[in-house]
Amino acid sequence: MRELFEEQLQLLNQELTEMGCLCEEIISMASQALVSYDEELGQKVSKVGAKIDEEERTIEAICMRLLLRQQPVARDLRAISAALKMITDMERIGDQAEDIVEIVPHMTVREHESYPKIREMARESMAMVTDSVDAYVKQDVYLAKAVQMHDDVVDNYFVRVKSGLIDMIAQNPEEGEYALDLLMIAKYFERIGDHATNIAEWVEYSVTGEHKQ
């Protein structure tokens, strides 16, 4: 019975890793859209978003089987509960990446100092997602804590982008709509970092039984 449970836990880890990879992919596409958007990219993003939703349902089913058919001990129960929480954040990551890609076609894209910072935000938030899922699979509390601390890096980027865009509006009021689009995109990347932090916090809970409120 325990052997079957371990097999199902391994399947759960595999599916979580796959969902994390899909989140990386869709964040990368959202960042790419800022550089060169076309209709084909938008379609690819929608397909990846649909795969993320499908993974969420698959993982939910695995967790339910583990809870209903097995008798998980305390640590196993925490791991399953954490996985259910994590996939909610990962699904929202997918949604927010799709939201970014939806904004881009309506913008008249032109270079601004915020662009490189926003792309850096994308890279940092993508790394946070990767490390948070890796921390779950390895049950690595130290890596989970590192992800949580790294959220400050993404937040600092957002503060700098916001400040630059405020200056942009002050100097060129006619650029207000464009600046707000960029600010919204930056905010979505900042939120992706927040979701990665949430995932890392649930990883810590799955190992230690303690969760930050």
The answer, yes or no, to whether residue 102 has pLDDT greater than 70, is: yes
User: Has residue 211 got a pLDDT over 80?
Assistant: no
CATH of the domain at 117: 1.20.58.220
Least confident segment among 104-118, 122-136, 151-165 = 104-118
* Residue whose pair of structure tokens reads 């325990």 in the numeric block: 2
20-24, 107-111, 162-166, 173-177, range with the lowest pLDDT: 107-111
Indicate whether 30 belongs to any domain: yes
Domain presence at residue 157:
yes
Give pLDDT tens digits for 127-157. 999 999 889 888 899 999 999 999 999 999 9
Query: Does the pLDDT at position 3 exceed 90?
Result: no
The residue-averaged pLDDT of 32-56 equals 90
Question: Within a domain: residue 156?
Answer: yes
In a domain, 162, yes or no: yes
121-130 pLDDT, tens digit per residue, is 989 998 999 9
Is residue 100 in some structural domain? yes
Q: Is the distance from CB of 30 to CB of 122 less than 8 angstroms?
A: yes
Domain that holds residue 154: 2-208
pLDDT of residue 113: 65
CA distance 143 to 149: 10
Q: How many domains would you assign to the chain? A: 1
- Residue 53 in any domain: the answer is yes
pLDDT of residue 109: 59
Q: Which residue has the higher pLDDT, 32 or 108?
A: 32
Share of the chain above pLDDT 70, in %: 95
Give per-residue pLDDT as tens, 188-202: 999 999 999 999 999
| Torsion (CA) 161, 163, 168, 173 in degrees, nearest 10 | 120
Between 25-29, 33-37, 203-207, the lowest mean confidence (pLDDT) is in 33-37
Q: What is the pLDDT of residues 64-95, one digit of tens each?
A: 988 887 677 788 888 899 999 999 999 999 99
Q: Is residue 213 part of a domain?
A: no
Q: 186 Cβ partners below 8 Å, 6+ apart?
A: 114, 117, 118, 121, 157, 158, 161, 162, 165
* Residue-averaged pLDDT of the chain: 89
Question: Above 70 in pLDDT, residue 213?
Answer: no
Distance in angstroms (rounded) separating the CA atoms of residues 63 and 176: 47
